[in-house]
């Protein structure tokens, strides 16, 4: 996250405040992140030969005490991309720090890519602000 904070290319940090209580936001993210984002996308393509590949997405949501939580979404690509070395859980795609900002407000510091994954990022914000509970269509 420090790389994103310092202005890394291809990534963005933004602060959002949603008009929903922290507990309500957390419950929504907890209910939606597992069923919607803990998925494996498998592909088959012909590139001179038949190639099989997959992307296994791994969301994590953790609460820290009464007023703070963190969210992250990682992916493991198979076959692994050239040069890609990741730790447990895979390559980080996005992350968020959540903080109680009053009785009916929650602050979210959102770290996200600027290229790709736009539907996942916008869906996360919709979950947080309560405007949708739909799952994003994940195809990469």
Rounded distance between C-alpha atoms, residue 38 and residue 83, angstroms: 25
pLDDT value at residue 38: 95
Establish if 140 belongs to a structural domain.
no
DSSP symbol at 118: H
Give the dihedral sign, CA 2/126/22/36: negative
Establish if 139 belongs to a structural domain.
no
Decide if 2 contacts 90 (C-beta within 8 A). no
Rounded distance between C-alpha atoms, residue 139 and residue 117, angstroms: 10
Say how many domains are in the chain. 1
pLDDT value at residue 84: 63
DSSP string, 1-52: -HHHHTT-TTEEEEEEEESS-HHHHHHHHHHHHHHHHS-EEEEEEESSSEEE
pLDDT value at residue 87: 76
Establish if 134 belongs to a structural domain.
no
Supply the CATH number for residue 93's domain: 3.30.310
C-alpha Rg value of the chain to the nearest Å? 16
Rounded distance between C-alpha atoms, residue 38 and residue 71, angstroms: 13
What stretches in the chain show pLDDT beneath 50?
1-7
pLDDT value at residue 81: 66
pLDDT value at residue 27: 96
| Single pTM value for the model | 0.85
Establish if 135 belongs to a structural domain.
no
Establish if 10 belongs to a structural domain.
yes
Q: Would you call 67 helix, strand, or coil by DSSP? A: coil
Establish if 76 belongs to a structural domain.
yes
Render pLDDT for 36-68 as a digit per residue (tens, 0 to 9): 999 999 988 887 888 888 999 999 999 999 999
Residues facing residue 97 across a β-bridge: 70, 109
Establish if 84 belongs to a structural domain.
yes
pLDDT value at residue 138: 84
Establish if 70 belongs to a structural domain.
yes
Domain residues for the domain of 120 are 2-129
């Amino acid at each position: 996250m420090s790389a994103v904070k310092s202005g890394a290319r291809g990534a963005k940090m933004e602060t959002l405040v949603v008009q929903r209580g922290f507990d309500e936001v957390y419950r929504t993210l907890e209910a939606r992140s597992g069923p919607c984002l803990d998925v494996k996308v498998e592909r088959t393509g012909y590139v001179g030969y038949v190639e099989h590949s997959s992307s296994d997405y791994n969301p994590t949501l953790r609460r820290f005490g009464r007023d703070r939580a963190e969210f992250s979404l990682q992916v493991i690509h198979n076959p692994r991309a050239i040069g890609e070395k990741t730790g447990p859980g895979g390559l980080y795609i996005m992350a968020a720090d959540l903080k109680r900002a009053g009785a009916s407000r929650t602050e979210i510091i959102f770290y996200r890519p600027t290229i790709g994954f736009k539907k996942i990022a916008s869906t996360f914000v919709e979950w947080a602000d309560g405007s949708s509970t739909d799952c994003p269509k994940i195809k990469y």
